[in-house]
């Protein structure tokens, strides 16, 4: 499933490049192929939608000498909701799987998910399985490998950052933005956050969080640490984060500037950050935070190298 989604994103990347120049991919995709075609294998009628299972032949890849099975055929599952409110839009999931998996059924995970999406969006959806269809080099890439591949391609040739799969993966509906500055003088630390919701929803709330280390030996905000006398044994390190209110420094119709000032602790360290909550879909909450500022900006030991780092902290 996940791999299939990434395959879809990967294709979007290629299509972006295609807008600027004709690539070998354009030439490949645009070449006529007499093998293209489909037959309907099964039809299911659910109360709210119809599901068609097709045997879909997408192409012939190079020739028989190059690959033992050069004709690519796929199971293609198309859901048409009875309530078709977006007839001009469709969603295609380019999915994985193997031709040997057998004919898909309505309750298969990815098929069912696409049918739910069709009902939820009022549009036609399709689950195109068995992509890629075969790989004569035996190097079918999984999702992480495909991501890594796009990074390698970008490092080799940085003229087109859109090759990075992270770009289309990140590209989504507009989100509000949160930016911040951190500073400190000799007595106080300070974070000022600027929330810009000129695109995206207005924030629900903005709060500060602060926590103090247990002592002046460890600049350590983890709830559990390794027992120094037995490093494989976890032991609690009860550093708790408490909420604290912010100062609103400025506000317009589309921005809010708020800040948090924290005095240096008498001993140990204090960490703090600002969290802004935005309304998400269906009652969910999108939480964005600034970086954490830690005061004072000192460490319990001097820099060390090699054997001189041996100690009792961990």
Ligand X SMILES: *[C@@H]1O[C@H](CO)[C@@H](O)[C@H](O)[C@H]1NC(C)=O
* Residues contributing to the site for ligand X (CB under 6 A): 55, 57, 71, 73, 120, 137-138, 157, 159-160, 185-188, 253, 261, 282, 305-306
- Smallest gap from Cβ 306 to ligand X, in A, equals 4
Instruction: Please give the Cα distance from 275 to 289 (Å, whole number).
Output: 4
In contact, 262 and 274? CB cutoff 8 Å: no
Of the pair 159, 266, the CB lying nearest ligand X is at 159
Of the pair 239, 294, the CB lying nearest ligand X is at 294
Instruction: Please give the Cα distance from 157 to 125 (Å, whole number).
Output: 36
Instruction: Please give the Cα distance from 218 to 214 (Å, whole number).
Output: 8
Of the pair 239, 290, the CB lying nearest ligand X is at 290
- Smallest gap from Cβ 188 to ligand X, in A, equals 4
Of the pair 57, 213, the CB lying nearest ligand X is at 57
Instruction: Please give the Cα distance from 180 to 165 (Å, whole number).
Output: 27
Of the pair 152, 188, the CB lying nearest ligand X is at 188
- Smallest gap from Cβ 232 to ligand X, in A, equals 25
- Smallest gap from Cβ 98 to ligand X, in A, equals 12
- Smallest gap from Cβ 161 to ligand X, in A, equals 10
User: 38: which 2 tokens?
Assistant: 């489909």
Instruction: Please give the Cα distance from 189 to 208 (Å, whole number).
Output: 13
DSSP letter (8 states) at residue 107: T
| Residues ≥6 apart with Cβ < 8 Å to 115 | 46, 49, 51, 79, 106, 125
Conformational region of residue 25, where left means phi above 0, alpha means psi within -120 to 50, and beta covers everything else: alpha
Instruction: Please give the Cα distance from 101 to 166 (Å, whole number).
Output: 30
Instruction: Please give the Cα distance from 71 to 76 (Å, whole number).
Output: 15
Of the pair 30, 137, the CB lying nearest ligand X is at 137
- Smallest gap from Cβ 7 to ligand X, in A, equals 21
């Amino acid at each position: 499933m996940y791999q299939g989604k990434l395959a879809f994103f990967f294709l979007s990347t290629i299509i972006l490049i295609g807008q600027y120049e004709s690539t070998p991919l354009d030439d490949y995709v645009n070449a006529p192929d007499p093998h293209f075609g489909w037959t309907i294998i099964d039809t299911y009628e659910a109360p709210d939608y119809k599901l068609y299972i097709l045997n879909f032949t997408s192409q012939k890849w190079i020739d028989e000498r190059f690959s033992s099975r050069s004709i690519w055929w796929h199971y293609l599952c198309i859901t048409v909701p009875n309530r078709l409110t977006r007839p001009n839009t469709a969603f295609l999931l380019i999915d994985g799987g193997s031709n040997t998996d057998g004919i898909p059924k309505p309750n298969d995970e990815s098929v069912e998910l696409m049918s739910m999406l069709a009902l939820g969006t009022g549009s036609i959806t399709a689950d195109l399985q068995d992509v890629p269809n075969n790989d004569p080099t035996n190097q079918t890439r999984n999702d992480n490998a495909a991501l890594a591949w796009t990074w390698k391609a970008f490092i080799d040739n940085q003229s087109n950052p859109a090759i990075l799969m992270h770009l289309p993966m990140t590209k989504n509906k507009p989100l509000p933005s949160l930016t911040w500055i951190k500073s400190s003088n000799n007595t106080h630390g300070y974070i000022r956050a600027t929330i810009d919701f000129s695109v995206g929803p207005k924030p629900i709330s903005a709060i500060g969080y602060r926590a103090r280390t247990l002592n002046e030996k460890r600049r350590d905000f983890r709830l559990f640490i390794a027992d120094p006398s037995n490093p494989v044994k976890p032991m609690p390190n009860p550093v708790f984060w408490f909420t604290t209110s912010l100062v609103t420094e400025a506000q317009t119709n589309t921005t809010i500037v708020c800040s948090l000032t924290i005095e240096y602790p008498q001993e140990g360290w204090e960490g703090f950050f600002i969290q802004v909550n935005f309304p998400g879909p269906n009652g969910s909450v999108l939480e964005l935070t600034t970086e954490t500022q830690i005061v004072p900006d000192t460490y319990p030991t001097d820099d060390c190298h090699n054997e001189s780092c041996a100690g009792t902290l961990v």
